[in-house]
């Protein structure tokens, strides 16, 4: 009897599935190299015997894969996070089991950078308050004092990876003076891009009228922006987060909006998302966009195809891309 083919399991989130039942993109890439099956799970608590026997797993971002779940995997060679962030996977536990954890760091670069700029423009030009005033049949421009000329503003980028760089270049083209803080980049990046580097987060926060966050969520960056950091920001300044919700302490930023210290916030992601109460949703000068910055028809296909290519390489014993552990 011939041996059964390798199994690649796609772990989609049962709460709101993001893939498609046929896994058509993944199957087109993997071909006959492995059998592809899709499973709906809330977390690794839902792992069946079949999932535990998979040779590789592709995981959508809402399903947490923790140490206990990883310990139950019998022959998995790679866990591929269908997206940029990999904080939903216990990478140390995977490493201890000799399981590679991979991500897709480049699929949504354009989309997230574009979304960041859209939020920045919406705040600096007060698009949502103006829209609401016009639709309530008003025409007095009540937010006139918040409307800003872009080339008079300084934009601070926290984290100058692919998305941070793409955002910086777009902002520079719009006329912003662009500064960045990233302690992990070599000297000279600022010269190559024609932007200005600052060595501390505090200096960036104190200097800029707009802050845009582009760093991963790690133990180091969790609550990177909390009460003390928000207090350093200029009164009336704007905060944009298209990175990970936990980088910003939710209670702190909502309070800073309520007391008027922040002029506005554009959050594609929030800590413990989605918003939980009407009080949170009614926070003044807040834009929230459903963790959708990465979304486009093209980006989603690219992301899924890349994950499938890595999973195929894993079952074939080939070199893996984007290993993070």
pLDDT tens column, 250-269: 999 999 999 999 999 999 99
Phi/psi class of residue 236: alpha, beta or left (left: φ > 0; alpha: ψ in -120 to 50)?
A: left
Residue with tokens 């609550």: 223
- The residue-averaged pLDDT of 82-104 equals 94
User: How far, in Å, CA of 99 to CA of 77, rounded?
Assistant: 5
Residue-level pLDDT at 34: 98
Q: pLDDT band for position 15 (50/70/90)?
A: confident
- Name the pairing type of β-strands 210-213 and 154-158: parallel
CA-to-CA separations, 255 to 63, 215, 261, 282, in angstroms, rounded: 30, 23, 9, 12
Total residues belonging to the chain: 325
Q: pLDDT band for position 83 (50/70/90)?
A: confident
User: How far, in Å, CA of 249 to CA of 308, rounded?
Assistant: 34
Close Cβ partners of 138 (under 8 Å, ≥ 6 residues apart): none
Active site residues: 244, 273, 291
Residue-level pLDDT at 38: 97
Residue with tokens 């505090």: 202
Q: What percent of the chain has pLDDT over 90?
A: 93
Q: Which residues pair with 81 in a beta bridge?
A: 59
Q: Which two three-digit tokens encode residue 184?
A: 């992990």
Cα-flanking dihedrals φ and ψ of residue 79, to 5°?
A: -115, 120
pTM above 0.75, yes or no: yes
Is the pLDDT confidence value at 2 over 70?
no
Q: What percent of the chain has pLDDT over 70?
A: 99
| pLDDT tens readout for residues 305-325 | 999 999 999 999 999 999 999
Q: Which residues pair with 211 in a beta bridge?
A: 156, 239
For 96, how many CA atoms within 13 A lie in the half-sphere containing its CB? 10
Cα-flanking dihedrals φ and ψ of residue 280, to 5°?
A: -65, -45
Residue-level pLDDT at 201: 98
Residue-level pLDDT at 18: 84
Is the pLDDT confidence value at 237 over 80?
yes
Q: Which residues pair with 35 in a beta bridge?
A: 7
**Which of 1-5, 121-125, 129-133 bottoms out in mean pLDDT, i.e. has the lowest?**
1-5
Q: Which two three-digit tokens encode residue 35?
A: 């059998």
Mean pLDDT of the chain: 96
In the chain, the largest separation of any two C-alpha atoms, in whole Å, equals 80
User: How far, in Å, CA of 127 to CA of 118, rounded?
Assistant: 10
Gyration radius of the chain over CA positions: 22
Residue-level pLDDT at 68: 96
Cα-flanking dihedrals φ and ψ of residue 212, to 5°?
A: -125, 125
Stronger pLDDT, 19 or 3, i.e. the higher one? 19
Please choose, from the candidates 150, 144, 305, 293, the residue with its C-alpha nearest in 3D space to the C-alpha of residue 213.
293
Dihedral, 178, 181, 184, 189 alpha carbons, nearest 10: 20
Tell me the three state secondary structure of residue 164: helix
| pLDDT tens readout for residues 27-75 | 999 999 999 999 999 999 999 999 999 999 999 977 899 999 999 999 9
- The residue-averaged pLDDT of 196-220 equals 97
Residue-level pLDDT at 1: 52
User: How far, in Å, CA of 96 to CA of 129, rounded?
Assistant: 51
Domains of the chain: 7-107+297-316 (3.40.50.720), 109-288 (3.40.50.720)
Please choose, from the candidates 255, 134, 146, the residue with its C-alpha nearest in 3D space to the C-alpha of residue 209.
146
User: How far, in Å, CA of 205 to CA of 232, rounded?
Assistant: 6
Q: Which two three-digit tokens encode residue 309?
A: 């290519």
């Amino acid at each position: 009897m011939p041996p059964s083919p390798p199994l690649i399991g796609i772990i989609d989130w049962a709460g709101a599935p993001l893939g498609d039942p046929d896994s058509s993109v993944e199957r087109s890439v993997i071909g006959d190299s492995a059998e592809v099956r899709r499973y709906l799970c809330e977390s690794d608590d839902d792992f069946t015997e079949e999932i535990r026997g998979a040779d590789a797993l592709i995981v959508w971002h809402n399903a947490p894969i923790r140490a206990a779940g990883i310990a139950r995997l019998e022959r998995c060679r790679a866990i591929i996070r269908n997206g940029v962030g990999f904080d939903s996977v216990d990478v140390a536990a995977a490493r201890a089991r000799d399981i590679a954890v991979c991500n897709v760091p480049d699929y949504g670069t354009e989309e997230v950078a574009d979304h960041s700029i859209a939020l920045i423009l919406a705040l600096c030009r007060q698009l949502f308050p103006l829209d609401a005033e016009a639709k309530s049949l008003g025409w007095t421009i009540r937010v006139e004092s918040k409307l800003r000329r872009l080339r008079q503003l300084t934009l601070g980028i926290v984290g100058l990876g692919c998305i941070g760089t793409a955002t910086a270049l777009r902002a520079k083209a719009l006329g912003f003076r662009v500064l960045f803080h990233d302690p992990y980049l070599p000297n000279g990046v600022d010269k190559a891009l024609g932007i200005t580097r600052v060595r501390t987060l505090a200096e960036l926060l104190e200097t800029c009228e707009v802050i845009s966050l582009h760093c991963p969520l790690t133990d180091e960056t969790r609550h990177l922006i909390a009460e003390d950091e928000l207090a350093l920001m200029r009164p009336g300044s704007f905060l944009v987060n298209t990175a990970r919700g936990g980088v910003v302490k939710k209670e702190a930023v909502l309070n800073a909006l309520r007391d008027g210290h922040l002029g506005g916030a554009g959050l594609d992601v929030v800590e413990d998302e989605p918003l939980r109460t009407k009080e949170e949703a009614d926070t003044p000068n807040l834009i929230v966009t459903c963790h959708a910055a990465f979304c486009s028809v093209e980006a989603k296909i690219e992301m899924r195809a890349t994950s499938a290519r890595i999973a195929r390489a894993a079952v074939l014993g080939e070199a893996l891309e984007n290993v993070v552990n």
